[in-house]
Structure 1
Amino acid sequence: MRSSINLSRESKADKRHGQILRQLQEKEKVRVSELSEQLDVTEETIRRDLEILEEQKQLIRVRGGAIPRQVEGFETPSLEREKKFLDEKKAMAKEAVKLVNEGEIIALDASTTSLQLAKALEDKPLTVITNSIHASIELAKKKAITVMLTGGYLRQESMSLVGFSSDKMINDYHIDTFFMSCTAVDSEWGVSDSHEMQAQTKKRIAELSEKIVLLVDHSKLEQKSLVRWLSLENIHTLITSASPSHQDLTPYKLKNLHTISVSKN
């Protein structure tokens, strides 16, 4: 028979676990040091909590903390993803707009970050190629912009067009700049995504592009997802919401990446 002391300890642990998982839903990443301070326990206790939650398949431990567990090939629905780090996405989009010149041919992926870029683009002569239904709707409001959808199969989770027919349609296109995001980026492993077909379509667009601009919020840095499809050497510019005082961007700069760090609007 367990003692009341053990029951009390178990209750406290369960309460911490619930708080950790709630924070993970809101932030997409939790850090050991921050949890230790917020929950008033040692960092070692937090590490044990994360280990238990990982064994329960509730999260994945990473260096310094944990991220949500993703089912292979599963994408969080776009409307749900759009709400996360919205201010940061708007700030990154505002910076990316500065890199778009009149008359260019640009491409946007189906990420919610690129959707903010579609909203932020000025109504001026441009050609925009995209596999995003949401982005095409936003761009259709701007009369000077020519919008080209890639075609392909519709993925409802991301409202994106993917597949062989999508890749085939864009095969002979020229693209000046591809603006995109991803599920995760690691300074050594490169760019990765959670869905293979989505990654394949983005890879084909990237191959046709003169320049690639990667926009990622702070939670995606030094992370890995299911499908690796692009090395950092192929990226021209990294726009991120990471604070230089909290996250070291040196590994990315050493890859000859033009790195831009933005603040929330």
Structure 2
Amino acid sequence: MKESRINQIEDLVRKNKSVSIDDICNWFNISTSTARRDFDILEKRGIVEKVYGGLRLKSPEKNNLSAPFHTQILLSPYQERSSKNIEEKEKIGKLASGLVNENDVIFIDSGSTCYQLASNLADTPCTVITNSYLVLEALMPYANIQLITLPGTLNRKTLSFTGSEVIQGISSMNITKAFMASTGISVDGGVTNAESSEYHIKRRVCEKSREIYLLADHTKFNRSSLYTYCSLNQIYCLVTDSKPDEKTEAFLSSHGIRVLY
């Protein structure tokens, strides 16, 4: 049955050029984790490749003009970035999900690593505040999770809601734990982000949160983007996929910051 399902998924990708993980789960009545395992097997066959949110047929030509609508979404700038370091991000998401306790009030940032956290929260009754479209989509089926979305304008580059309305909404909230994304972290530059539209939002979230959990894979170490939204010593815990470099590890240790990998 499993092999038959995997072959059917491969046929669907060949026919449609791409499929989303949500469609596969609905068509075959399987869980997200089962679909991901099937995707891993298919990718090893060398015919398809995993992209953020699904699978696509491997091809030297990437002509989105003739592709169906859902394919164009999969190949948007956000998903292209998100298709990198998938295994590392999945690991971080699973680790971070273990830090969420029942009845916590948490903020989940936009970004592909934070999305992986949301994908692993189904069994934890809690309140989730977010400005991420994808986090909302991932958690919507679970009645045990209270979802609070922040109003704003959708930034299609980041798939997050931004604007002054988001900042105003956060200002009235008290957050237990904030799970934050970053495009670069360093001892000197702090926790940084490249998007000006998200800078003030991230900064305000950190100000309103009791504990800040930074979700960042090893490629973000010793890198700085344009905007520093909090200093490295403000975070409570770094959740990553591997041991940080010596300088970063020494700084975190000297400030009593937990590192989980």
TM-score range, shorter chain: 0.5 to 0.7
Q: Residue 234 of structure 1 aligns with which residue?
A: 234
RMSD across aligned positions (CA)? 1.7
CA distance in structure 2 between the aligned counterparts of 1:132 and 1:180, rounded to whole angstroms: 12
Q: Residue 124 of structure 1 aligns with which residue?
A: 124
Query: Over residues 103-144 of structure 1, what are the superposed CA-to-partner deviations in whole Å (9 max), with x where a residue is unaligned?
Result: 110000101100000001133321100000011000002111
Q: TM-score, normalised by structure 1?
A: 0.67
Contact 1:232 1:255 in 2 (8 A): no
Q: Residue 199 of structure 1 aligns with which residue?
A: 199
Q: Residue 143 of structure 1 aligns with which residue?
A: 143
Q: Residue 213 of structure 1 aligns with which residue?
A: 213
CA distance in structure 2 between the aligned counterparts of 1:200 and 1:257, rounded to whole angstroms: 24
- Identical pairs, percent: 31
Contact 2:122 2:139 in 1 (8 A): no
The CA deviation at 1:252 is: 2.5
Residues 120, 233 of structure 1: CA spacing in aligned structure 2 closer, same or farther, 3 A cutoff? same
CA distance in structure 1 between the aligned counterparts of 2:248 and 2:173, rounded to whole angstroms: 37
Write the mapping of 1:85-104 to structure 2, written as runs, cut at 5 A: 85-104=85-104
Number of residue-to-residue matches in the alignment: 186
If asked which structure has higher relative contact order (CA below 8 Å, sep 6+), I would say 1
Q: Residue 160 of structure 1 aligns with which residue?
A: 160
Contact 1:108 1:178 in 2 (8 A): yes
The CA deviation at 1:234 is: 1.2
Query: Which letter maps to 2:207?
Result: E
CA distance in structure 2 between the aligned counterparts of 1:173 and 1:244, rounded to whole angstroms: 33
Query: Which letter maps to 1:118?
Result: A
Give structure 1 stretches of 5+ with no counterpart: 1-75
Aligned partner of residue 128 in structure 1, secondary structure = strand
Write the mapping of 1:20-39 to structure 2, written as runs, cut at 5 A: none
Q: Residue 32 of structure 2 aligns with which residue?
A: none
In our comparison, the structure showing a higher alpha carbon Rg is 1
Query: Over residues 139-196 of structure 1, what are the superposed CA-to-partner deviations in whole Å (9 max), with x where a residue is unaligned?
Result: 0021110111111111101110111111112211111000011000001220111012
Contact 1:123 1:143 in 2 (8 A): no
Query: Over residues 218-254 of structure 1, what are the superposed CA-to-partner deviations in whole Å (9 max), with x where a residue is unaligned?
Result: 0100111011120012100001123358986223222
CA distance in structure 2 between the aligned counterparts of 1:226 and 1:191, rounded to whole angstroms: 10
Give structure 2 stretches of 5+ with no counterpart: 1-75
Contact 2:93 2:113 in 1 (8 A): yes
CA distance in structure 1 between the aligned counterparts of 2:244 and 2:170, rounded to whole angstroms: 37
